[in-house]
Amino acid sequence: MSRPRISLAFAGLLAAGGAQAQIGAGVDLGTTGAGAHLVFGLTPSLNARLGLNYFKHDFDKSTDDVDYALDGKLQTFNALLDWYPRAGGNFRLSGGVFYNDTRFDAVGRPDRSGSFRVNGTTYDAAQVGQLVGKVDFRKAAPYLGIGWGNPFATTRGWRFGADLGVFYQDEARVSLRSVNCTVQAGLCGQLAGDLAAEEARLAEEASDYKFYPVLRASLSYRF
């Protein structure tokens, strides 16, 4: 599901809640990065939230053969419904979908001898060039969680909140290639085949994150 379709579907839900819906706004911080959200009070037991989050995260990752430097940008848009078992209370059950635009740029690092070992074959880094790649995940990621806080539980003012949940982004999608391979075509072709096997290894490592934890603290204001 694309981000425009998610937005249109959610807009329809808000319209169904009536023109008199209460409105709040806030900021949050946590495992999805820094973000902002709008809150719509549809009924005494049901709120809707629209949020945007961003988090830049650089780290190292290794397979059996290659060490990588990963430059990551975690960007999400979420559309959530919060149901309060006790109308006007603070404890909530949440569900919805994240539009997951998270992606990582990967750069392979040669070993101390200036070589790459890819799929069991050793290549001179000066000849095969740079190993680069991209890692991303499915765009539409369903979310389930619990939380605390309701900007409409009291009169106007600030309210603290928290979310604890997980969204499912499935297995990682990985592409790897060599840039500026200067040796004979046959060796470059062999490298391409070995990189295809290395893609599968890196995807397996990155798929440890197919269930992404969401832990956020928020501060909301009711208008």
Tens-place pLDDT, residues 111-154: 888 888 888 888 888 777 788 888 889 899 999 999 999 988 87
Where exactly are the structural domains of the chain? 3-222
Q: How confident is the model at residue 18 (pLDDT cuts 50, 70, 90)?
A: very low
C-beta separation of 145 from 212 below 8 A: no
Mean pLDDT to the nearest integer, 107-114: 83
Q: What is the pLDDT of residue 43?
A: 92
Strands 103-109 and 91-100: unpaired
CATH of domain 3-222: 2.40.160.70
pLDDT for residue 144: 97
Instruction: Give the CA distances from residue 173 to residues 63, 114, 185, in Å, rounded to whole numbers and listed in that order.
Output: 15, 28, 27
Please choose, from the candidates 56, 101, 55, the residue with its C-alpha nearest in 3D space to the C-alpha of residue 78: 101
- Is it the case that residue 95 has pLDDT exceeding 90? yes
DSSP for residue 200:
H
Residue type, 146: I
More confident position, 69 or 32: 32
Q: Binning pLDDT at 50, 70 and 90, where does residue 17 land?
A: very low
The pLDDT of residue 119: 83
Region of poorest pLDDT, from 2-6, 21-25, 67-71, 114-118: 2-6
pTM: predicted TM-score of the whole model, two decimal places = 0.75
CB 215 within 8 A of CB 30: yes
